[in-house]
Chains A and B, each alone.
Chain A
Amino acid sequence: MDIQNSAIAVTGLTVRYNNRVALDDITFSVAKGAYLGLVGPNGSGKSTLIKAMLGLTPSAAGEVYFSGQKRAGFGEWPRIGYLPQKISHFNPYFPATVGEVVALGLLSRKMERAAENAAVEDALGLLDIGGIKEKLIGELSGGQLQRVLLARAIAGRPAILLLDEPTTALDPETRERFYSTLESINRDLKTTVVLVTHDIGTIGKYASQMLYLDKKVVFHGGFNDFCGSGDMKKYFGEYSQHVICHRHD
Chain B
Amino acid sequence: MAEFLSYGFVWRGLVAGCCVAVICSMLGVVLVLRRLSLIGDGLAHVSFFGVAVGLLLRATPVFVAIPVVMASSLGILKLAQRARLYGDAAIGMVSAAGVAGGIILASYGGGFNVDIFSYLFGNILAISAGEMYLSAAFSVAVAGIMMYYHRSLLSVSFDEEFAAVSGVNTGYINTLLALLTSVAVVLTIKIAGMLLTSALVIIPAVTAIQLGRGFRVTMAIAALLGILSVIAGMAFSFYGNIPGGAAIVLVNIVFFFLSFPLKRFGAQL
- Interface residues of chain A, those whose CB is within 8 Å of chain B, are 51, 54-56, 77-78, 80, 82, 84, 87-91, 93-97, 100-101, 103-105, 107-108, 134, 136, 152, 156
Contact = CB atoms under 8 A, between A and B. Distances in A.
Contacts of A96: 154, 158, 214-215
A94 B158 contact: yes
Contacts of A100: 154, 214-216
B198 to A, nearest CB: 20
Contacts of B151: 103-104, 107
Interface in B205-238: 208-209, 212-218
Interface centre among B33, B157, B162, B208, by most chain A C-beta atoms within 10 angstroms, is: B162
Contact of A80 (B152, B163, B165, B217): B165
A94 B219 CA distance: 12
B160 A77 contact: no
A104 B163 contact: yes
Given A87-B162, A95-B214, A104-B151, 11 more contacts: A56-B165, A87-B158, A88-B159, A88-B160, A95-B33, A97-B214, A101-B158, A107-B151, A107-B152, A136-B213, A152-B162
A120 B163 CA distance: 17
Nearest to A90: B159
Contacts of B34: 89
Contacts of B93: none
A144 B216 CA distance: 23
B214 A77 contact: no
Interface residues of B, number: 28
A134 B209 CA distance: 16
Contacts of A103: 151
Contacts of A78: 166-167
A69 to B, nearest CB: 15
A77 B166 contact: yes
Given A104-B154, A104-B155, A94 B161 contact: no
Nearest to A82: B165
A100 B168 CA distance: 16
B168 A108 contact: yes
A31 B161 CA distance: 25
10 contacts: A51-B161, A55-B164, A77-B165, A88-B160, A95-B214, A100-B154, A104-B151, A104-B154, A108-B167, A152-B162
Contacts of B160: 88
A96 B165 CA distance: 20
Contacts of B208: 95
A100 B163 CA distance: 13
Interface in B182-217: 208-209, 212-217
Contacts of B212: 95
A104 to B, nearest CB: 5
Contact of A107 (B157, B166, B215): B166
A107 B165 contact: no
Shortest Cβ-Cβ A-B pairs, 7 listed = A108-B167, A77-B167, A95-B218, A82-B165, A95-B212, A87-B159, A104-B155
Interface centre among A54, A89, A96, by most chain B C-beta atoms within 10 angstroms, is: A96
A136 B211 CA distance: 11
B35 A107 contact: no
A78 B34 CA distance: 24
B165 A95 contact: no
A51 B164 CA distance: 11
A82 B168 CA distance: 14
B35 A89 contact: yes
Nearest to B208: A95
A104 B161 contact: no
Contacts of A89: 34-35
A137 B51 CA distance: 42
Contacts of A56: 161, 164-165
Interface in B135-170: 151-152, 154-155, 157-168
B159 A84 contact: yes
Contact of A105 (B33, B166, B213, B214): B166
A197 B154 CA distance: 29
B40 to A, nearest CB: 18
Contacts of B167: 77-78, 107-108
A192 B151 CA distance: 28
A109 to B, nearest CB: 9
Contacts of B209: 93, 95
A144 to B, nearest CB: 16
